[in-house]
Amino acid sequence: MLSDDLFDTDPQLLNRVVKGDEAAFRTLFHQYWDHIYTVAFTFTKSDTLSEELVQDIFLKIWIGREKLDGVASFSNYLFIVARNHILNQLRKKVYEVPFREQVLAYFAADDNPEQYVQNRQVGELVERGIALLSPQQQAVYRMSRQQGMNQDEIAAALGISVSTVKTHMSKALYALREFLKSHSGDAVGLIALLSHFL
């Protein structure tokens, strides 16, 4: 969370913003831009998207500037607005192929020890989720996602119908999604999990 101690935001500056003073708002914008950009980049790993999100966040602050009246800690207020906006946008963008590929490429990189640890943790978390599935669901999921088998091949290997394969896969994916959502505290990590493994 951002700290007011860093900036000691002047209440009078906020009051000017509330009253529609654009110069005061620009001062606020420049005061906090770097820090909100850092928060955005931590989640997105994208320079362009982070800059867009910062612009959107401050536009939202400006449009709803009357809400600043009486805010005790502007930095905390701004952080909450930024976090909520970033997460909402990520939930939408996870379904956009270019963005999903960009995030996955970041997690797939081999030259960063931190990313290596994240990748390993992702794999371990997925394995924990798979272990909670029924034996049949585990078999269908592993054949599909880890062995690259299609539904007809899975059905033949397990001696079940294609319809039953679809049912097991659907239930497995739902259970894994719920497990991962409840165990991933990092938005980007969650995106990588849902996109790569599901």
Distance, CA of 59 to CA of 167 (rounded, Å): 46
What phi, psi does 158 have (nearest 5°)?
Answer: -95, -10
113, two tokens: 């020890």
What is the structure's pLDDT at 101? 56
Do 159 and 88 touch, CB atoms closer than 8 A?
Answer: no
Q: What is the pLDDT of residues 87-130, one digit of tens each?
A: 888 776 655 545 555 555 555 555 555 555 555 666 777 788 88
* CA pair distance 82, 38, nearest whole angstrom: 11
CATH of span 110-197? 1.10.10.10
Q: Which fold has domain 4-93?
A: Rna Polymerase Sigma Factor; Chain: A (1.10.1740)
Domains 4-93 and 110-197 share a fold: no
Report the distance separating Cα 158 and Cα 162, nearest Å. 10
At 98 the pLDDT is 54
- In which element (H, E) is residue 163 found? helix 162-183
Instruction: Locate 72 and state its tokens.
Output: 């005790």
Q: Is 72 exposed, middle or buried (0-12, 13-18, 19+ CB in 10 A)?
A: exposed
- The owner of tokens 């009486």 is 70
- Reported pTM: 0.47
Query: What pLDDT score does 111 carry?
Result: 53
Is residue 83 within 8 A of residue 38, CB to CB? The reply is: no
Give the start-to-end residue ranges of the domains of the chain. Answer: 4-93, 110-197
pLDDT value at 197 more than 60: no
Work out the angle between the directed axes of helices 22-44 and 11-18 (0-180°, nearest 10): 100
Condensed to tens digits (0 to 9), the pLDDT of residues 36-59 reads 888 887 777 777 888 889 999 999
Contact between 153 and 119 (Cβ < 8 Å): no
Residues 6+ apart with CB under 8 A from 64: none
Is residue 18 over pLDDT 70? Answer: yes
For the stretch 150-181, pLDDT in tens is 889 999 999 999 999 999 988 888 888 778 76
